[in-house]
Chain A
Amino acid sequence: MKVQYSYLKNFLPTALSQVKLADIFTKVGFECELDGPIIDFDITPNRGDALSLRGLQREFHAHQSTQLKDTLSYKKLKFKKDKAVINKIDKTGCGNYHLMTIGGIRSIKNLDSKKRNFLLAAGVPLISPLVDLGNYVMLEIGSPMHVFDLDLLDLPINVLFQSNNEPFRIIGGDLKNLEDSSLTIQDQKGVQAVAGVIGGEKTAVSKSTKNIAVEAAFFYPDKIVNEARKYGLATDASHRFERGVDPAIQKQALERFIFLLGAIAEYDSVKCFEGDSQAVKSNVVSLSIDRFNKFSGLLLTKKTISSLLQNLGFSLNSSKKKNLSFKVPSHRFDISLEEDLYEEILRCHGYDNIPIKPSKASLIRPQNTISSTSALKTGLIFGGFKELMHMPFVSEENFMKLNSKPKKPAQLLNPINENEPMMRGSLFEGLFLAINLNVKKGYSSLKIFESGNVFLKRGDDFIQHHHISGIVYYHEPQKSWDSKVISYDFYSFKAEIYQLLQTLGVDDLRLESNSNNSAFNLNSMDIYSGTKVIGSLGEIDLAITRKLIKNTAFGFELYPQEISRHSKVIKLKSISKFPSSTRDINILINKSNTYEDVQQILATGSISFLNNFALVNTFEGKGIPAGLISMTLSFIFQSVDKSLKDSEINDSMNHILRLLKKSLQAEIRS
């Protein structure tokens, strides 16, 4: 709520500067921002009662421990019940309803310039003197009012949950289809206002208006809440009603209205009516002095507590030795529990005056959870990767490119950018954009990764998975100063990721060819820990990068939640004291066979004394028949309990050759 400092001072008996005054309000819970001559009060949604000068007065006096005296002038009015004016009131939505009819209005002048400037500073537009006056009283006392052109109303008024299903033209001209759940003000012709929100165009005051009906009512907050939004509206009245308007001030608001009207217009007659009302029950809340002091860490006396609350308008209901109970004032919709009173006492006593205690620590050490995420991140960073973060919103097209069917996107109902209504299903989209951006900026070597959640829809539910994904991209080959080219290919990349996972201690780590991950082309692999897929790696499929990436790039996607890092039980193997022997062979196999086939055969072949084997090199081309590939394999033989004889090693080598011949039709190359 924005108020001119100069105008506010008329209501507060103080000589405090604008800055000091703002500071006082900030300290009691109404954060103030200064904007030239204006103080902008941040009124939290629980404190609708403070959305007026009267509300601010109350807070100021409570803080100063002084009594608020009403210095405003009113014209006393008498209200009567008349079914010909106010007929049916639905008391579940409307606590009280008042109508003041004023006849023969003429010589209408504008509000004085101070009041008009006050309204403008508060962000309330000037409409016409009569409407402006209603708005002014709302800002002064806190009760929203509506002014009808009396001649256009077909009395009596009914306040009902019933829309008659007719489109309703609101002030300003827009048509709204009202729902039956909305409380409406109706005359004999139909709906003339949406209660607590806005009036209708048909009965609005105009320059030719001679007779008016001014409405002041109390509508229950829970019946008004969401009403304005439902019709795409936000009005000063709805803002107040949905937060709670004091149900005791409607008559006073009309008395103030008629008093002020005297200064800007002449009129002939005033009649005041009230409908059937239902008194709003006032809460009584008890408070234990001991509990409060234990809660706050303070040692306040009964007297202090009592006086702080009474300054805020709470009246003492009962007082026992260590217990007090208070009647909550009608404007405080936010007080119903003992803890609500604690807050009132503490904010008026001052949060700064509560003694500071040492940090609160738990004596119980939480279970040690080893996070794969942080270990993976650390490993990547030491491997030269930079961590990036991106917004998770993507277009449908980009979602589909990176997530093959049947994966379905999680879609937002109210995206911030309508072109990106989906939640990401992969982290690669952000990384592609990052590569494109940084290559344009002149970076030619990039190792980047992101750690974050991806989202999918599954049935009526949504699922989220944590991924760590990264890309290695060399826009140009790296060269050292002596023109040495540092080559980087699929196998360099595979080594990096494999080394990371092995160093991390991932159980039973292995790779399998051809991942289904849409981000990669055929040169890709799934990463397994035992039977669980813990990620994938491969060459980025440039077709899906929308030309964001121009050259070969390699990517990985890891699922930290699937990577277990339980402290493994390590079974030590006996270490041989005897010498090892190495033998190499050179085989020719069909290119359709993979190295993995060779590995598989050797690993499962029960080869005596074979300690380890490795691929030394591969060759194809000159001297090798088409369709074949030459592989040089190196074998290390060793026994834990003896030195091996040549004949024993020869037997094993022959066994190897037999296996390779039988399964792969391998030929020995001389």
Chain B
Amino acid sequence: MQIPQDLIDTAKLKLKSVQSEAEFFQLRSQYLGKKSYIISAFANLKSLQPKEKILAAKELNLLKEKLSIIFEGALGAIQHSDVINALDVTLPADPYLVGAEHPISKVEEIVISYFSSLNYQVFSGNEIETDYFNFEALNFPENHPARQMHDTFYLKSKSKSDHLLRTHTSNTQIRAMQSLTKEELPFYMLSPGRVYRCDSDTTHLPMFTQIEGLVVDEDVTFGDLKGTIINFLEHFFDKEMEVRFRPSYFPFTEPSAEVDIKFGDNGWLEILGCGMVHPNVLTNCNIDTKKYRGFAFGMGIERLAMLRYGVQDIREFYSSNLDFLNQFTS
């Protein structure tokens, strides 16, 4: 019996041009169906001599097996390509919502992560605070005009009237320092949080976010403070900055400074306050001023965020306006 040897090659060739499942099944039927050469060849076997019959049957079985494998493999490929061809993958995804961190949180996180890398410990504190932790321990004498710089919200209370909304996060520094043991010095901390001033316009809000830093260590100098601030600002704005330290006054630091930066065409812009910790403050926290000195700095996150993102009106941050907030998704 003569078995055509090109059967496999022609089948492979024809399979290549198959476009659909229907064409495939038609072709498969030509090669493996009831009317195919193989099946009719099997039927013709009975006319052969027993010896020839065995040899031819073996050969035919092998051929059938090979063709089956080729067609099986081709079917997978055709079905797969059918699925891909069935979809317009450019149609939109099902509706979904994109989450986003608030810009104030984003900026707060940048500052915290920078100082955390310098091993500053993060503390959060009370927003409702007593006069002692917000003012007295920070060297604000009672009734001192410096208190007027902090338009303070006071809380109604029957027996005590000294509860207030903290005007800065320095209260956290006092609480942290007062709970320190001698072994815990030197001490590097960061206190982020909401603070309150009874004031509202396009550049001031009755509540805003502040981050203060405090270092208590031996041999701390004003030069260390300058370096720490400048390096931070250059990290934050990701460029070399023109920075100016200008004498100022805070009761809790001596000397005190306001820090200005050159930003855009606006000339000098006040960005944060800082200074060497006033010895009275350290004494109030039982820290030996002969051995330790400190520096502290504080900044408004809204101000940093306004500069970073070019926000004109500080009130936008608290407006819930998704048209505004949707721009901070990345």
Q: Which residues of A contact B149 (CB under 8 A)?
A: 45
The answer to the question of A342 belonging to the interface, with a C-beta cut-off of 8 Å to chain B, is yes
Residues in B with CB closer than 8 Å to A377 are 101, 105
A423 to B225, CA, bound (A): 37
- A297-B223, A361-B118, A386-B99 known; A464-B155 Cβ under 8 A: no
Q: Which residue of A lies closest to B129 (CB)?
A: A462
The one of B97, B156, B245, B317 that contacts A411, using a Cβ cutoff of 8 Å: B156
CA distance A129 to B212 in the complex (A): 50
Query: Does B159 make an interface contact (CB < 8 A)?
Result: yes
* Chain B residues with CB below 8 A from A393, complex form: 206
Q: Mark A383-419, 1 if CB is under 8 A from B, else 0.
A: 1111111111100000000000000001111111000
Question: Which of the candidate stretches A9-17, A117-125, A142-150, A479-487 sits at the interface with the other chain?
Answer: A479-487
The answer to whether A351 touches B194 (Cβ under 8 A) is no
Assuming the contacts A226-B143, A411-B155, asked whether A359 and B221 have C-beta atoms less than 8 A apart, the reply is: no
Given contacts A27-B246, A360-B227, A389-B317, contact A413 B154 (CB under 8 A): yes
Q: Is the CB of B163 within 8 A of A46?
A: no
A363 at interface by CB-CB < 8 Å? yes
With contacts A297-B223, A360-B217, A389-B104 known, is A46 near B146, CB below 8 A?
Answer: yes
Say which residue of A343, A369, A451, A481 sits within 8 Å of B92 (CB atoms): A481
B-side contacts of A593, CB under 8 Å: none
- Asked whether B223 lies within 8 Å of A391 as measured between CB atoms, the reply is no
Is the CB of A668 closer than 8 A to any CB of chain B? no
Give 1 or 0 for each of B98-139: 1 = CB within 8 Å of chain A CB.
111110110001000000101111100011100000000000
Min Cβ gap A294→B in Å is 7
Q: Answer whether residue A116 sits at the interface, using C-beta atoms and an 8 A cutoff.
A: no
Main secondary structure of the interface of B (DSSP, over half): mixed
Interface status of A575 (Cβ within 8 A of chain B): no
Instruction: Indicate if A36 sits at the interface (CB-CB under 8 A).
Output: no
Q: Most chain-B Cβ atoms within 10 A of its Cβ — which of A296, A347, A360, A412? A: A360
Residues in B neighbouring A382, C-beta threshold 8 A:
99
Note all chain A residues with C-beta closer than 8 A to B85.
Answer: none
Q: Contact: A388 with B325, CB < 8 Å? A: yes
A462–B163 touching, CB < 8 Å:
yes
Knowing A295-B293, A355-B223, A464-B128, the reply to whether A29 touches B121 (Cβ < 8 A) is no
Q: Give, as a whole number of angstroms, the nearest-CB distance from B281 to chain A.
A: 11
Interface residues of A in 1-46 (CB under 8 A from B): 26-29, 31, 44-46
Is the pair B219, A29 in contact by a Cβ cutoff of 8 Å?
no
Interface residues of B in 152-166 (CB under 8 A from A): 153-161, 163, 165
Q: Is the beta-carbon distance between A347 and B95 smaller than 8 angstroms?
A: no
Asked whether A361 and B247 contact (CB < 8 A) given A297-B224, A384-B96, A412-B156, the answer is no
Is A434's CB within 8 Å of the partner chain B? yes
| B220 interface residue per 8 A CB criterion | yes
* Residue A165 lies at the interface, judged by CB distance under 8 Å to chain B: no
Minimum CB–CB distance from A42 to chain B (whole Å) comes to 9
Partner of B276, one of A47, A339, A364, A438: A339
CB distance from A493 to the nearest CB of B (A): 13
Contact B128 A359 (CB under 8 A): no
Q: In whole angstroms, how far apart are the Cα atoms of A423 and B224 in the complex?
A: 40
Given A356-B227, A464-B128, A479-B95, are A294 and B320 neighbors across the interface (CB < 8 Å)? no
Give min CB distance, B319 to chain A, whole Å.
8
Contacts A416-B198, A445-B95 known; A296 to B104 CB distance under 8 Å? no
A366 close to chain B: CB less than 8 A: yes
Contact A367/B102 with A356-B223, A455-B127 known, Cβ cut-off 8 Å: no
Residue of A nearest to B120 (CB): A362
Closest to A452 in B: B194
A295 to B222, CA, bound (A): 7
**Residue on A nearest B256 in the bound complex, by CB:** A343
Contact indicator A385/B99 (Cβ below 8 Å): yes
Which of B198, B278, B320 is in CB contact (< 8 Å) with A414?
B198
A225 within 8 A of B: yes
Nearest chain A CB to B255's CB is how many angstroms away? 4
Judge whether A387 and B207 touch: CB under 8 Å.
no
Check if A346 is an interface residue, CB within 8 A of chain B: yes
Chain B interface size range: 35 or more
Residue A175 interfacial (CB < 8 Å): no
Cα distance, A225 to B140, chains bound together (Å): 13
Report chain B residues within 8 Å CB of A388: 102, 320, 325
A441 on the interface (CB 8 Å rule)? yes
Residues of A within 8 Å of B207, CB to CB, are: 391-392
Please provide the chain B residues from 248 to 279 with a CB less than 8 Å away from any CB of chain A in the complex: 248-249, 251, 254-258, 276, 278-279
CB-nearest residue of chain A to B251: A46
Check A55 for interface membership: any CB of B closer than 8 A: no
Report if B42 contacts A (CB, 8 A).
no
A242 touches B145 (CB 8 A): yes
Interface centre among B146, B255, B326 (most CB of A within 10 A): B255
B69 to chain A, nearest CB (A): 32
A383 to B246, CA, bound (A): 46
Known: A346-B255, A445-B95, A453-B194. A294 touches B219 (CB 8 A): yes
Contact assessment for A447 and B120 in the assembled complex, using a CB-CB cutoff below 8 Å: no
Q: Distance (Å) between the CB of B116 and the closest chain A CB?
A: 8
B residues near A364, Cβ cutoff 8 Å: 119, 186, 188
Complex CA distance for A362 and B326, rounded to whole angstroms: 38
Q: Which of A339, A365, A381, A430 contacts B320 (CB 8 A)?
A: A430
B6 at the A/B interface (Cβ < 8 Å)? no
- B278 → chain A, closest Cβ, in Å? 7
Residues of the A chain whose Cβ atoms lie less than 8 Å from the Cβ of B154:
412-414
Chain B residues in 8 Å Cβ range of A28: 247
Q: Smallest Cβ distance from A253 to chain B, in angstroms? A: 22
Task: Note all chain B residues with C-beta closer than 8 A to A347.
Answer: 247, 255
Stretch at the interface among B16-24, B50-58, B70-78, B228-236: B228-236
A366 to B244, CA, bound (A): 31
Interface residues of A in 421-463 (CB under 8 A from B): 423, 430, 433-434, 437-438, 441, 443, 445-448, 451-453, 455, 457, 460, 462
Residue ID in chain B nearest A293 by CB atoms: B221
| Cross-interface CB contact of A453 among B98, B127, B220, B276, cutoff 8 Å | B127
Asked if B194 and A460 sit within 8 Å, CB to CB, the answer is: no
Asked if B94 lies at the interface with its beta carbon under 8 angstroms from chain A, I say yes
How close is A542's CB to chain B, nearest CB, in angstroms?
19
A480 engages B97 (CB within 8 Å): no
Q: Is there an interface contact between B224 and A366, defined as CB atoms closer than 8 Å?
A: no
- Is there a chain A Cβ closer than 8 Å to B287's Cβ? no
Whether A339 and B254, one on each chain, are in contact in the complex, defined by CB atoms closer than 8 angstroms, is yes
- Determine which residue in B148, B159, B247, B321 has the highest number of CB atoms from chain A within 10 A of its CB, and name it: B247
A194 within 8 A of B: no
Q: Does A352 contact B (CB under 8 A)?
A: yes
Asked if B89 CB lies within 8 Å of chain A CBs, one says no
Q: Is A478 an interface residue (CB 8 A)?
A: yes
List of A residues within 8 angstroms of B161 by Cβ: 413
Q: Which residues in window 139-198 of A have CB below 8 A to B? A: none
Is B318 in the interface zone, CB < 8 Å from A? Answer: yes
4 nearest CB pairs, A to B: A297-B223, A29-B247, A44-B249, A343-B255
Interchain Cβ contacts under 8 Å between A and B, 27 examples: A29-B246, A242-B145, A294-B219, A295-B221, A296-B223, A339-B279, A346-B222, A352-B244, A354-B245, A357-B224, A358-B231, A360-B225, A361-B188, A362-B187, A362-B215, A366-B120, A366-B121, A377-B101, A387-B101, A411-B156, A412-B153, A414-B153, A415-B153, A416-B206, A434-B320, A462-B155, A464-B128
Binding site for B on A (CB under 8 A): 26-29, 31, 44-47, 222, 225-226, 242-243, 294-298, 337, 339-340, 342-343, 346-347, 351-352, 354-367, 369, 374, 377, 380-393, 410-416, 423, 430, 433-434, 437-438, 441, 443, 445-448, 451-453, 455, 457, 460, 462, 464, 478-481, 484, 486
Given contacts A434-B320, A448-B320, 20 further A-B contacts (CB under 8 A): A45-B149, A222-B143, A339-B255, A346-B222, A347-B247, A351-B255, A354-B226, A355-B223, A358-B227, A361-B188, A362-B118, A381-B100, A384-B98, A385-B97, A385-B99, A410-B155, A414-B154, A453-B194, A455-B128, A462-B155
